[in-house]
Structure 1
């Protein structure tokens, strides 16, 4: 359950009303963008590296394709499970902190209001203004104010396990299919260079898409994705060629 939902179910008004709902902040995308980019990057890199590593060991084309398909299926499920478990743990921590704040407001409302005032003083308000702000927010939405300003949890950025799992699995499968299709269509003699080139191009596009979605500079985002992806493929290919085994 998200922070806003917990606050609402406790009888408090909405945690984080938007002053400009027609122009939301890009940071509100963090709940799904991180998982989506991670899934997409892992899909391309892991399946491409698997294909290149197996190909470097000189097996048959059939073995290469089977390894790639198995990597796609296993990786998608692994990413979904991993995201769900890890983000669920984050949600558990958030909900536990919210429950503690709710109880503290019942046990010591004056102390909690003073704590809010101290937070606002630390942020630059005068003591008198901070006390007034803390008093008005406490009267309006005490739990929401503490969840937002003490715990740092805001609507749109709370842990969402199912969304993270779905986004990660979907993007993993979609982008992992790119090197797999490249391996299926490439001539056997040129399989490794074709997969590497296609993968690097796909990684460049992924870095650009992630930068656009996050409002960041395209160049640095694309470069770091390409560099780390290329390094992963190079290491895997080297291990496959050195030992002559699939890794």
Structure 2
């Protein structure tokens, strides 16, 4: 949930900044729409590609670690038993109880026990590249669609203030939601996201206005 909200934040900031920069350069309404749609598609695909590569690398690393652990279990079962026992002792169990727990868990699923308690790999948290890519792209697209809807329906003469104001409202809401979901202070999250969003939009609009003047 928190990752999805942050992805939507990225979509809002990137797309709103882009359309404001193009609008500040005195482009036509049609050109602004085209630039915004292009930015939405490019941003979503960039998020998907980056997330897929990153998570796939994580998945490859996890598989390599599991394969190494599987071989160690085949060649040194007693050593792996002692290693797991030491982990449980380090977590506060009595040595005799730790040895018993390690013995029972390894008898049930030795690789699963080591993956979970030695390597920190859990089934519910294991890397899923395709899901991560689709989720990131969708979150970005949803966020980017918010300023694009404003661009589509706002009067051209007032497009810059409309997009700026509504995008900051969207960012404030999502920033507060992300902070709430993460257990952080809501107001801090709101102020942080809106400040950096306003800075990004202001700088991009300034660049657009500068190039528009030069042109």
Whether TM-score is above 0.5 comes out as: yes
- Give the aligned length: 213
Asked if residue 154 in structure 1 is aligned to residue 122 in structure 2, the reply is yes
The corresponding residue for 2:29 is: 61
Question: SS of the residue aligned with 1:62?
Answer: helix
How high is the TM-score relative to the length of structure 1? Answer: 0.79
2:160 aligned residue: 192
C-alpha distance in 2, partners of 1:128/1:151? Answer: 23
The 1-side partners of 2:168 and 2:103 are apart by: 56
**What is the CA–CA distance in structure 1 between the aligned matches of 2:13 and 2:20, rounded to whole Å?**
10
Q: How many Å separate the matches in 2 of 1:225 and 1:136?
A: 49
Residue pair 1:91, 1:158 contacting (<8 A) in 2 also: yes
Give SS of 2:121's match: coil
Which residue of the partner structure matches residue 13 of structure 1? none
User: How far apart in 1 are the matches of 2:102 and 2:78?
Assistant: 10
2:101 to 126, 133, 136: 133
Question: SS state of the match for residue 244, structure 1?
Answer: helix
Q: Which residue of 2 aligns with 1:206?
A: 174
Q: Which moved more, 1:90-99 or 1:123-132?
A: 123-132
Per the alignment, in what secondary structure is the counterpart of residue 35 of structure 2? helix
Match of 2:132 among 155, 158, 164: 164
Note if contact 1:37-1:168 (Cα within 8 Å) is conserved in structure 2: no
Which residue in 2 is equivalent to 1:3? Answer: none
TM-score scaled by length of structure 2: 0.90
Query: Take 1:107 and 1:79, find their aligned partners in 2: how far apart are those partners?
Result: 42
Cα separation, 2, equivalents of 1:86 and 1:141: 29
Give the match for residue 107 of structure 1.
75
Contact 2:6 2:178 in 1 (8 A): no
Task: Name the structure where helix makes up a greater proportion of residues.
Answer: 2
Partner of 1:144: 112
Q: Distance in 2 between matches of 1:162 and 1:211?
A: 26
- Whether 1:220 aligns to 2:209 is no
Q: State the 1:217 CA deviation.
A: 4.3
Structure 1, unpaired ranges of 5+:
1-28
- Measure, in 1, the Cα distance between the counterparts of 2:192 and 2:83: 42
Distance change >3 Å, CA 52–CA 159, structure 1 → 2? same
